[in-house]
């Protein structure tokens, strides 16, 4: 008959064996410490640990998002604004992420806050509003180079919102309105210039060709004749004979017949 001590020992051995089995998922890595010293990096899959000697720390290797809260920034031209951002990063070397920094996520968040304030403080407000892609890339490069020794890689940085004071919003609105008025005046001036240029060319043509001017006069008289309550008087020709007499008689008859 099996003694109680043997059963207890077997149960303890099975419990130790069961506790030594570990399963690491595809997106995870396990950093193994043996008696406090770094052993190796394992995973994904099934493996065993030495009970009471090995300790495992799981590290998620997926891309994570880090929400940077709103930061008060003073731009280069002394405008106070609030900016928040989102950082996407991932761990590429699990061992470095565990042994090189105490809390890589908190360290990355603090570094992102200071970098965001430093980079935006070096630029004017117009640059911050218009060149956000370039500023995002500069912030990403600084964060990526700084966190590389921690076994991390910054995938992307995006400034989510830029909040301006109310008086600055009104000033920007007035500036935009002034720009639109400026463009409208320039377009109007360009139209006047082109019209005057074409009229000058037309005057030169009429001066060189009096017959063209006469044809234009007849066309104008025809358009005026459509108004039935008008009497049109035309100038004579240069030789003293009224070459427009038939036209005038026709217009007079038309006006008399409409009364």
Query: How do residues 39-98 score in pLDDT, each as one tens digit?
Result: 888 888 888 888 778 889 999 999 999 999 998 898 888 888 899 999 999 999 999 999
User: Locate tokens 């970098």: which residue?
Assistant: 115
Residue 160 has pLDDT above 80, yes or no: yes
Do residue 39 and residue 94 come from a single domain? no
**Sign of torsion over alpha carbons 75, 81, 86, 89:** positive
Residue 137 resides in a domain: yes
Residue 169 lies in a domain: no
**Domain containing residue 28:** 17-60
pLDDT confidence band for 1 (50 / 70 / 90): very low
- Residue 230: inside a domain: yes
Residue 201 inside a domain? The answer is: no
Q: 206-239 in b/e burial notation, b at 16+ Cβ within 10 A?
A: eeeeeeeeeeeeeeebeeeeeeeeeebebeeeee
Q: Is residue 4 part of a domain?
A: no
The number of distinct structural domains making up the chain is 3
Tell me the CATH number at 132: 3.30.479.30
Peptide bond connecting 44 to the previous residue in cis, omega within 30 degrees of 0: yes
Domain end position, chosen among 131, 164, 197: 164
- Residue ending a domain, choose from 164, 183, 198: 164
Would you list the DSSP string of the chain?
---HHHHHHHHHHHHHHHHHEEEE-TTEEEEEEETTEEEEEE-SEEEE--TTTEEEEEEE-S-EEEEEEEEEEE-TTS-EEEEEEEEEEEES-HHHHHHS-S-HHHHHHHHHHHHHHHHHHTS-HHHHHH-HHHHHHHHHHHHHHHHGGGTEEEEEEEEEEEE--HHHHHHHHHHHHHHHHHHHHHHHHHHHHHHHHHHHHHHHHHHH-HHHHHHHHHHHHHHHHTSTT--------TTSS-TTHHHHHHHHHHHHHT-
* Residues 107 and 74 grouped into a single domain: yes
Q: Is residue 10 assigned to a domain?
A: no
Asked whether residue 77 falls in the same domain as residue 106, the answer is: yes
Mean pLDDT of 209-236: 66
| Residue 240 confidence (pLDDT) | 44
Inside any domain, residue 9: no
Residue 138: is its pLDDT beyond 80? yes
Let me know whether 56 and 68 are in one domain.
no
Q: Token pair for residue 14? A: 């099975």
Same domain, 48 and 103: no
The CA-CA-CA angle for residues 104, 71, 120, to 5°, reads 95
């Amino acid at each position: 008959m099996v003694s109680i001590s043997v059963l207890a020992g077997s149960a303890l051995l099975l419990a130790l064996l069961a506790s030594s089995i570990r399963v690491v998922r595809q997106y995870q890595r396990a950093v193994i410490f043996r008696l406090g010293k770094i052993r190796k990096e394992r995973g994904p899959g099934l493996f065993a640990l030495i009970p009471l000697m090995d300790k495992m720390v799981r590290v998620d290797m997926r891309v994570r998002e880090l929400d940077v809260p709103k930061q008060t920034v003073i731009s280069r031209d002394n405008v106070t604004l609030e900016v928040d951002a989102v950082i996407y990063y991932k761990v590429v070397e699990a061992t470095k992420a565990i042994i090189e920094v105490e809390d890589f996520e908190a360290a990355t968040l603090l570094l992102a806050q200071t970098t965001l304030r430093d980079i935006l403080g070096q630029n004017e407000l117009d640059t911050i509003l218009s060149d956000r892609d370039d500023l995002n890339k500069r912030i990403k490069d600084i964060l990526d180079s700084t966190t590389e020794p921690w076994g991390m890689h910054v995938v992307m940085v995006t400034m989510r919102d830029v909040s301006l004071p109310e008086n600055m919003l009104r000033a920007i609105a007035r500036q935009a309105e002034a720009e639109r008025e400026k463009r409208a005046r320039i377009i109007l001036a360009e139209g006047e210039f082109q019209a005057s240029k074409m009229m000058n060319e037309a005057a030169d043509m009429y001066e060189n060709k009096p017959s063209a001017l006469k044809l234009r006069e007849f066309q104008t008289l025809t358009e005026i004749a459509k108004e039935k309550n008008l009497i049109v008087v035309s100038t004579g020709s240069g030789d003293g004979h009224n070459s427009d007499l038939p036209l005038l008689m026709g217009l007079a008859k038309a006006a008399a017949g409409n009364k």
